[in-house]
Amino acid sequence: MRPAVKQINSGQTAQKASFAGRSVCPLFDNTQFKQCSKCKQSKKLSEFNGDSARKDGYRSWCKSCTRLIDKQYSQTERHKKIRKLYRQTKKYKKINSQHQIRYRKRYPQKIAAHNALNRYIPLGKIQKPDKYRCFCGEHAKEYHHYLGYSPEHFFDVIPVCRLCHAKIHRNQNNRQRGGRIKSIPLPVRGLPALLFARKSR
């Protein structure tokens, strides 16, 4: 019989829960340790994802090993083939359509900024981002609105690769939540963004 765990409301402090003989909530337990079956290192329980199917309530692999294996699998041809087939299903198309509708309603300024930029690219007023290199040295794939999405900053952009673009927005979200922020170079405010981009050879 599995030990019962009391639910904890997100807006309240952690309450005590009876879990495997310990009078402490497992989600906030940093006193107990467990050995990862992958890297063979003893880590705190907070370094493991939960798994209700297991006796102790945690997965056998730590979060670091799980992320590493998931990243390696995502680069395999098997994963790419399965993902491609899934994107052709009616289920994915329905979910994606609903997501697009919610996204457009939630971020109307962002959509307007990208639409304005996309209208200028065919006219030749702005070069395609793949004509430049990202500040990390990789080929740029997208434009980042580094001064925001207000109409006066629709064309204040810098070409970046997808990885750096994701990191920039992740930092912005972490800054709002008070989380960890990584140092990423961005254009100096008021200077032309393309001065910071290297021409692609």
Domain segments of the chain as ranges:
18-61, 129-199
Q: What is the mean pLDDT of residues 123-140?
A: 85
What distance lies between CA 104 and its chain's CA centroid?
A: 19
Examine the pLDDT at 198 and tell me if it is beyond 80: no
Cα(31)–Cα(59) distance, integer angstroms: 17
Examine the pLDDT at 111 and tell me if it is beyond 90: yes
Count the neighbouring beta carbons within 10 Å of the beta carbon of residue 165: 19
Cα(129)–Cα(122) distance, integer angstroms: 12
Q: Supply the pLDDT for residue 124.
A: 81
Q: How far apart are the first and last CA of the chain?
A: 64
pTM recorded for the entire structure: 0.54
Q: Supply the pLDDT for residue 134.
A: 87
Examine the pLDDT at 23 and tell me if it is beyond 60: no
Examine the pLDDT at 17 and tell me if it is beyond 50: no
Q: Supply the pLDDT for residue 95.
A: 95
Q: What is the mean pLDDT of residues 31-47?
A: 89
What distance lies between CA 165 and its chain's CA centroid?
A: 10
Can you tell me whether residue 44 is helix, strand or coil?
A: strand
